[in-house]
Amino acid sequence: MSDANAYTADTARIQGGIRQVHEISTAAQSMLRNFEKSLKPTAGWPGEDDSFAKATKPHAQRENVTAAETMRAIAEAIVAIADGTSENVKNIRSTQAGNLDAILRSPGGNSTGTNGRKH
């Protein structure tokens, strides 16, 4: 008989993936901090009050702010992915436990339920 309609999930592997996603988020946040630190030493490169500085500084500042905001949004999105996946794992485990309890309570099951045991 085929298990084409079977619903399975390896929650331990999913949790491992969540840990990796959190590591990616940490790396993204670190890159943002490094980017922001690297901007400070270069702030005066276009000059201070000559025509070149007046023409280029506002644009460079906007670009830097946009880049930092983009990196921050990416890091936040990565965290949201990990958090959402973690919630899905909780739902999967709850569904698995509920189904196993129902099987055990059904005719032919041992009718003792899981009593909090892992399945």
Contacts 24+ apart (CB under 8 A), 56-64: 64/39
d(CA 7, CA 1): 15
Give the pLDDT confidence of 25-60 residue by residue, as tens digits. 999 999 999 999 999 898 888 888 899 999 999 999
Q: Note whether 18 and 86 are within 8 A (CB).
A: yes
How many CB atoms are closer than 10 A to CB 12? 8
Q: Which domain holds residue 55?
A: 22-32+48-119
| pLDDT score of 116 more than 70 | no
> Is residue 42, in this structure, part of any structural domain at all?
no
With a CB cutoff of 8 Å and minimum separation 6, the contacts of 79 are 22, 25
> Is residue 1, in this structure, part of any structural domain at all?
no
When divided into structural domains, the chain yields a total of 1
Please indicate, yes or no, whether the overall pTM of this predicted structure exceeds 0.85.
Answer: no
